[in-house]
Amino acid sequence: MNIAVIVILAVTVFAISLILALLGSRVYENSDADSRQRAVSDAASYFTEQLRRCESSAHVRVASLKGEIPALVITMDDDSPGADDGNSGANDAGSTGQADKDVARDNDDTTLEAWYFVHDGALHRTVINSGDTVSPASGEIIMPLHSAGFSTLRGGLVEISFVIGDGDSSTINISLAGGGDTGE
């Protein structure tokens, strides 16, 4: 009888251990999936916030760095929202967003552009004077991102496809304020 009790206890302990191990692995899988979803959501929210600041679709264009790296370019003037915010990044000369705004005030002909592109596994943001050259290593790193592609569609719609670090991809369409208004 004592052996039967020991066997039953051993089987019970083994079964409980197995159930806890399976539950633990499920918790890990769920937290990993939540982390990936959070990364996709963060990227979508960031792009949406930046594009919502545009007054018209005329302020948004698609370009490339060295003909290879896709970029989203948002034209700002010195009183545009975001021209002086703390997230405006740095240009090749290392100036801050506030300094960029001061430059725009000193020279009324200066137009600022915020360039968004992916380089070395990260989304970069660089604010430059219109017509200046952007280098892939310039600007501040915003978030990890494996790749991104941009296109402007009719009616003030911007499509952004991106891949986060672990390979999950997502495509978002963002409607600009003013819709298809070209600002003319």
Residue 134 carries which DSSP code?
Answer: P
Mean pLDDT across the chain, nearest whole number? 78
pLDDT of residue 32: 63
**Which range among 40-44, 105-109, 170-174 shows the weakest confidence by mean pLDDT?**
105-109
- The C-alpha atoms of residue 16 and residue 140 are separated, in whole angstroms, by 50
Question: How is residue 158 written in tokens?
Answer: 């911007």
The pTM (predicted TM-score) of the whole model is 0.67
Give the 3-state DSSP-derived string for 90-111, with helices as H, strands as E and coil as C: CCCCCCCHHHHHHHHHHCCCCC
86 pLDDT higher than 50: no
How far apart CA 115 and CA 26 sit, in angstroms, is 41
pLDDT of 95 strictly over 50: no
Give the pLDDT of residue 184.
42
Q: Taking a C-beta distance cutoff of 8 angstroms, is the pair 145, 122 a contact?
A: yes
Strand, coil or helix: 50: helix
Pairing of strands 69-76, 169-175: unpaired
